[in-house]
Structure 1
Amino acid sequence: MRLRSGSRDEPEINLIPFIDVLLVILIFLMLSTTYNRFTEMEVRLPTADAEPSTTRPREVIVAVAADGRYAVNRQLVADRSVEGLAAALSGFAKPEAGGNGANGGGGNNTILIISADAAAPHQAVITVMEAARRAGLMQITFATQTTGKAAR
């Protein structure tokens, strides 16, 4: 009687049907899940008794010409240095009466609008920004022109 020599077929687990079942379960879960939409949530906002502020902030317009000249509220500034421009702006940086300092300017509610010529040197605009910092004007914005394309 002969016994088989050592080569035996080992049973294998076929993973392909297992993967198929997992994919079907995954697809089922994805399709049956309801997604919460935050836009449909009912939110009750708290009420406030405070009235909206009717005061507009003061605006200071600094014009920068193409040749580097400065004008503060249409008044030409003779001194083109940072110190001279800061001295011209310092009168506008004084806190208003009743200011609470909530905007970071120590009660200062003044907005500096820089209206620079397109051909003005960049250093002239940087000088205005540095002078505004020294004068305590922290809210700075730039004036621009809108083109016909942007208005459509």
Structure 2
Amino acid sequence: MNFRTRSREEPEINLIPFIDVLLVVLIFLMLSTTYSKFTELQLRLPVADADAQRDYPKEVVVGVSSDGRYTVNKQAVVGRGADVLAMALGDAAKAGKESVIIVSADATSPHQAVITVLEAARRAGLHQVTFAAQSPAQAR
């Protein structure tokens, strides 16, 4: 009979698998988290590097002022609704549905004013819309 006391080995904690799991969780969280702060957006509109403005024979230029007033081919539009603007666009579009609407909005004009121009163009059946911008050299 063997009455010697067995030497008890202390259990050993292996930290390597634990660290591996933590690194995988950390990588997953880094990839799935979006870091966007809308309060920090600094926008300067409209400036674009574009070619010289082409002359469209069928163009209708819609101006949007900084306070939301509209002009169609340099004629003031009375009212700010989409219906009034759609009628003015329909009258100014001499080429019919082939006319090109050029939205020339002030950089500080309300976003809703530009959306109203797009809605009025849709109501008038004019689907070719583009935006006017100035080059960065002209903005200075």
User: Is TM (by shorter chain) over 0.5?
Assistant: yes
- Find out whether 1:89 has 2:73 as its counterpart: no
Q: Percent identity?
A: 55
Q: Structure 1: which 5+ runs fail to align?
A: 1-55, 97-107
The reply to whether residue 126 of structure 1 matches residue 115 of structure 2 is yes
What is residue 64 of structure 1 aligned with on the other side? 64
Matched to 2:76, the amino acid is L
Whichever residue aligns with residue 121 of structure 1, its letter is P
TM-score calculated relative to the size of structure 1: 0.51
Tell me if the contact between 1:111 and 1:141 (Cα under 8 Å) persists in the aligned partners: yes
- When Rg is computed on C-alpha atoms for both structures, the one with the higher figure is 1
Unpaired runs of at least 5, structure 2: 1-55
Choose the corresponding residue for 1:111, options 100, 112, 120: 100
Alignment RMSD, CA only?
1.8
Per-residue deviation at 1:130?
0.2
Q: Could you tell me the TM-score, scaled by structure 2's length?
A: 0.55
Q: Aligned pairs, how many? A: 83
Aligned to 1:103: none
Counterpart of 1:100?
none
Provide closer, same or farther for how the CA distance between residues 113 and 95 of structure 1 changes in structure 2, counting only shifts above 3 A.
closer
Q: For residues 124 and 107 of structure 2, what CA distance do their matches in structure 1 show?
A: 25
In structure 2, distance between residues paired with 1:58 and 1:119 = 28
Which structure has greater helix proportion?
2
Q: Output the CA distance in 1 between the equivalents of 2:136 and 2:95.
A: 36
Q: CA deviation at 1:92?
A: 3.4
Question: Taking CA–CA contacts closer than 8 Å with sequence separation of 6 or more, which of the two structures ends up with the larger relative contact order?
Answer: 2
Runs of 4+ aligned residues of structure 1 deviating over 2 Å after TM superposition are: 92-96
